[in-house]
């Protein structure tokens, strides 16, 4: 990833993963409001990969003001995730006809995404916020909270479809919040790099050239616009230190950090993308601000 710390500035989490003929499904467009059909929530089709709770008849059903219907299968009354918390969710997605279009249970890996940030369809952002850790529910999501009048996945999800998801909130963790540098004194290096220590880690364990650093980050312009964040994807970024695979400012500061360190780093354009900028989101001669956390070294 020569001189670019970003795997993709356009990277985003998906509700429907790779099973839909490889098509990515996002919620970036405004959907035309379509009234939900009056289906009666039925027990999910028996599937040995799904927890048994989804095969039981239940009567605990809630319809929210938006039209989302939630059929509770298992409730543990734990604390609920808040906006920006990273949630891990298993799910099975079907049409009201029972036709299955995606299933993380079969893949054996839940998806992770920051809640309430528009990375998933509206019905998911609303519904997952109603669950506690370990809870299971069936969401009946009207089209206006899903994909609206768009056909998705090469027709696997027709336009104006009401969607049914069996979901299991496996876990969640506190989400990333922009680092607060109020009252902190910056440290400026000879190159012009400036950083604030939010939390100092183990300085006896710093990465050296040739090692691979594992880090989380969020990148901002000086006007506050966030252009990329591994925190939002729930996927740390890995790169080989001192090999020119990232911008100069990153190669410099990462070697000053110990495992567990959290720094806010202000990188002048001479140590970033210079006059050329990067893509549509980073203009030329831009000073970049990164919240960075060094998670590990290998």
**CA dist., res. 81 & res. 89, Å (int):** 12
Q: Tens digits of per-residue pLDDT, 53-106?
A: 887 777 678 999 999 999 999 988 788 999 888 899 999 999 999 999 999 999
pLDDT of residue 164: 97
**CA dist., res. 26 & res. 108, Å (int):** 22
**CA dist., res. 68 & res. 61, Å (int):** 10
Question: Quick one: how far is CA 79 from the chain centroid?
Answer: 20
Residue with tokens 């528009």: 118
Domains of the chain in sequence order: 52-173 (3.10.50.40), 187-297 (3.10.50.40)
pLDDT of residue 233: 77
pLDDT of residue 9: 27
Q: Tens digits of per-residue pLDDT, 14-32?
A: 343 333 333 334 443 333 3
Low-confidence ranges of the chain (pLDDT < 50): 1-48
Query: Per the structure block, which two tokens stand in for 56?
Result: 């039981």
pLDDT of residue 176: 84
Angle at 246 between CA 242 and CA 252, to 5 degrees: 50
Burial class (CB in 10 A: 0-12, 13-18, 19+), 125: buried
Are 73 and 80 in contact by the 8 Å Cβ rule? The answer is: no
The pTM for the full model equals 0.61
Residue with tokens 């809640």: 115
**CA dist., res. 156 & res. 262, Å (int):** 44
């Amino acid at each position: 990833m020569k001189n670019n710390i970003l795997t993709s500035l356009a990277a985003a989490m998906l509700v429907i993963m790779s099973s839909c003929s490889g098509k990515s499904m996002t919620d970036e467009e405004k959907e035309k409001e379509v009234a939900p059909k009056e289906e009666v929530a039925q027990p999910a089709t028996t599937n040995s990969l799904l927890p048994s709770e989804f095969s039981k008849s239940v009567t605990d059903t809630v319809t929210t003001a938006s039209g989302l219907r939630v059929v509770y299968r298992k409730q543990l009354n734990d604390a609920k995730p808040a906006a920006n918390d990273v949630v891990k969710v298993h799910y099975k997605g079907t049409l009201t006809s029972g036709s299955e279009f995606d299933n993380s249970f079969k893949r054996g890996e839940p998806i992770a995404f920051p809640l309430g940030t528009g990375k998933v369809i509206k019905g998911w952002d609303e519904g997952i916020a109603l669950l506690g850790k370990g809870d299971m529910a069936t969401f009946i999501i009207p089209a206006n909270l899903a994909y609206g009048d768009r056909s998705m996945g090469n027709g696997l999800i027709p336009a104006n479809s009401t969607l049914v998801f069996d979901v299991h909130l496996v876990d969640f963790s506190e989400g990333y919040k922009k680092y607060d540098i109020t009252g902190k004194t910056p440290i400026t290096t000879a190159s012009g790099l400036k950083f604030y220590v939010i939390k100092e880690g183990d300085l006896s364990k710093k990465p050296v050239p040739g090692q691979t650093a594992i880090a989380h980050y969020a990148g901002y312009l000086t006007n506050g616009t966030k252009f990329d964040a591994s925190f939002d994807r729930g996927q740390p970024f890995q790169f080989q230190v001192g090999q020119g695979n990232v911008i100069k400012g990153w190669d410099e500061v990462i070697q000053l950090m110990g495992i567990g360190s959290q720094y806010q780093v202000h990188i002048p354009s001479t140590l970033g993308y210079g006059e050329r900028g990067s893509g549509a989101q980073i203009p030329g001669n831009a000073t970049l601000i990164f919240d960075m956390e060094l998670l590990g070294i290998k």
